[in-house]
Amino acid sequence: MFTQPAPTLEPDFATTRPNRETLRRAYLLMRTADELARLYEENKAVTARYVHATARGHEAIQLAAAFHLTPHDYAAPYYRDDALLLGLGVAPYELMLQLMAKRDDPFSGGRTYYSHPSLRRPGQPTIPHQSSATGMQAIPATGVAHGIKYLEGQGLAPKGSGTPAATPPVPPVVLCSIGDGAMTEGEVAEALQMAVLHQLPIIYLVQDNDWGISATSREMRAMDAYEFAAGFKGLQRLQFDGADFLASYAGMQQATEYVRLRHGPVLVHAKCPLLGHHTSGVRREWYRGDNLAQHTLQDPLPRFHQQLLELGFEEADLEELGRQARATVLADYERALAAPNPDPATFADHEFAPPAVTEETGERSPTGADKALMVDAALHAVDDILREFPEALFYGQDVGGELGGVFREAALLAKKYGDARVFNTPIQEAYIVGSTAGMSAVGAKAIVEIQFADYIWPGLNQLVEELSKSCYLSNGKFPVQSLIRVPVGAYGGGGPYHSGSVESTLLTIRGIKVVYPSNAADMKGLLRAAFLDPNPVVLLEHKGLYWSKVPGTEDAKTVEPAAGYAIPLGKAAVAQEADATKLRNGETCVVITYGMGVHWAKTASKQFPGQVEVLDLRTLNPLDWEAVQAAVRRHGKALVLTEEPLLNSFAESLAGRIQRHCFRQLDAPVFTLGAANLPAIALNVELEKQMLPSPEKVAAALQELLGY
């Protein structure tokens, strides 16, 4: 938690100077970055087929930052950081493979933009996958730092660059690189808040060139990043000329040493000129005017060249380094042009990492076990996980401390496992969700909670951009292990901000799994499988089933499975069978549903003894399509039941799919039933009843379907 920070950092550029070999390497790589930008512009008909940006003007600060990172550190570059990548040891050829979307692009296999790296290999800092880095990357990067601090506190080593976890020789740091324009994003403020609240080992490197795309700093901000950071108590600040390599090297050394000593987070504000295009698709000549000539006066390359001459380097030696850089870039360009493109047959690879649980394991109904409420089964499942896996932690709003969640679903866990493992967060849904991507990258396994489904919307940006795409766009290197618990559903007058159902929105997001249990046993088994799954999983938990207080939900209370019980995701279950004789006589139907719908259907089916099978989907993605088809073909009549507003819902989509693939086996149209197509659940309980499905409404639909 928050500790009193050390005295404010003051830049001292006279005390630190890189050795001669470092200076030589810096000049070679600065020339290499310059040659890359020059070659891309000279060959823009080829290189601008896909969009890219270059480091021109930012090379000094980027190389200085890279030179202070070790293979045990972590980096979150932004899209202009190709010089930083060169400094970390990435070859120009590798950058060009990504530029041209080639098969052997080491970051994504041709799937994402230039200078959008993800890297896990020995000898270089780990670069977790992130989005296009316009502010959103601050949260996952801070999650990396948060995970490092957590693991250090548990005596565990972070998972580094593709090698077995081992204690690093120096404490690792996280470098989050960002443009000043992106500092106005609200998610950046969430990241900074958590960094100072928990005093995390992270450097926020802000490269400020006074431009967005065509918007100037005067239009975009009331203060620069250095001034903005002053409002975050406990965040140390350092400001210097990012176009001066010597000043940048000294400043970054101070910042990294401060963070390695675990004094807390640092924000570095480095002013840089923008000498290239914002991106290849937005030409500088369209809007820069005289500004480009002004920025050229601050070009770091001639400035560094002159500094090296003053330090005793020979002009001929520097020119030779320039020739080496150009020769390397030209040769690598020809190699990259000839490199193979991705095999189109691999286009769908790595949507998900392989699941950890592939079959039901453990005891579902132990002898002598008592029945448990669904909320208690969830609590016990998390308790079992925290006891068994020291890398596991649980956080969200109000889940720590005394309360243990507004539904008491984490009761006493903070007291049992400590505030480092079970803790409260600020009201920051984006951080709660997005930080799990960073946690996963270092081997920490986060269980997090969104207090109500209606509050999940601020977290969707992180869920979509950072979590869901990570496995696919990193070519399988960085699946995100993340379990996000979300209480959902309406009952008893919860009103418009505590009653929402959100599964249809979530199911439009590829790359995440969505699970929805209907009873205590399934809750315990699915929660464990979701935790063990190496992919992002959203676990939807209906509040009306937690305590089985809603009439007709008594079956949600079941015998509690033993510790370690797990159900594979993507497997439906028959919650109620139809009578075999009535099935043979063609007198039956199936209700395909999940969550509260299971209990509405079972209650309604009492009016049609033996005629109704209830198929509980349990997992909405991946969907057990085989079980759905088998049930529909078994009965010939189907009702798809949901609590969501019906129009354009998952239920309607599933009904259409059934109609398409099971048409010849159907004896009636596929029926659907859901909530009224309204934007929110009304507070008044009578209005709520009118809007929602109910056993009576389900019974009316079954009457019509069975009589069709």
Q: Which long-range contacts (CB under 8 A, 24 or more apart) does 343-349 make?
A: 343/103, 346/109, 349/475, 349/476
* DSSP-assigned beta bridge partners for residue 540: 486
Q: Dig out the tokens for 471 from the structure.
A: 């496995």
Catalytic residue among 68, 498, 542, 635: 498
The answer to whether residues 569 and 527 touch, using CB atoms and an 8 Å cutoff, is: no
- What is d(CA 381, CA 313) in angstroms, rounded to the nearest whole number? 65
Phi and psi angles of residue 175, each rounded to the nearest 5 degrees, phi first: -110, 120
- What is d(CA 538, CA 433) in angstroms, rounded to the nearest whole number? 10
CA 707 to chain centre: 48
Sequence-separated (6 or more) residues with CB below 8 Å from residue 164: none
The answer to whether residues 82 and 177 touch, using CB atoms and an 8 Å cutoff, is: no
- What is d(CA 462, CA 212) in angstroms, rounded to the nearest whole number? 22
Rg (CA), the chain: 28
- What is d(CA 512, CA 527) in angstroms, rounded to the nearest whole number? 15
Active site residue 263: no
Q: Quick one: which of 481, 489, 485 has its CA closest to 395?
A: 485
CA 708 to chain centre: 47
The answer to whether residues 321 and 28 touch, using CB atoms and an 8 Å cutoff, is: yes
Please report, as a single letter, which amino acid is at residue 214.
S
Q: Is the peptide bond before 265 cis (omega within 30 degrees of 0)?
A: no
Q: Dig out the tokens for 589 from the structure.
A: 């139907």
Q: Quick one: which of 556, 549, 657 has its CA closest to 597?
A: 556
Residue 539's SS3 state is strand
Angle formed at CA 496 by CA 490 and CA 501, multiple of 5 degrees: 45
**Cross-sheet strand order for the sheet of 74-76:** 74-76, 174-179, 202-208, 266-271, 236-241
The Cβ-side half-sphere exposure at 81, using a 13 Å CA radius, reads 33
Residue 651's SS3 state is helix
Angle formed at CA 271 by CA 13 and CA 220, multiple of 5 degrees: 150
Q: Which residues of 138-176 are buried (b: 16+ CB within 10 A; e: fewer)?
A: bbbbbbbbbbbbbbbebebbbbbbeeeeeeeeebbbbbb
- What is d(CA 574, CA 583) in angstroms, rounded to the nearest whole number? 15
* DSSP-assigned beta bridge partners for residue 640: 592, 672
- What is d(CA 624, CA 571) in angstroms, rounded to the nearest whole number? 5
Q: Dig out the tokens for 496 from the structure.
A: 């418009």
- What is d(CA 186, CA 189) in angstroms, rounded to the nearest whole number? 5
Phi and psi angles of residue 620, each rounded to the nearest 5 degrees, phi first: -90, -30
DSSP characters over 263-327: ---EEEEEE----S-SBTTB-GGGT-TTHHHHHHTT-HHHHHHHHHHHTT--HHHHHHHHHHHHH
- What is d(CA 607, CA 448) in angstroms, rounded to the nearest whole number? 41
The DSSP element (H or E) to which 406 belongs, if any, is none
DSSP characters over 591-650: EEE-THHHHHHHHHGGGSTT-EEEEE--EEETT-HHHHHHHHHHHS-EEEEEEEESTT-H
Give the residue numbers annotated as catalytic, written as ranges: 498
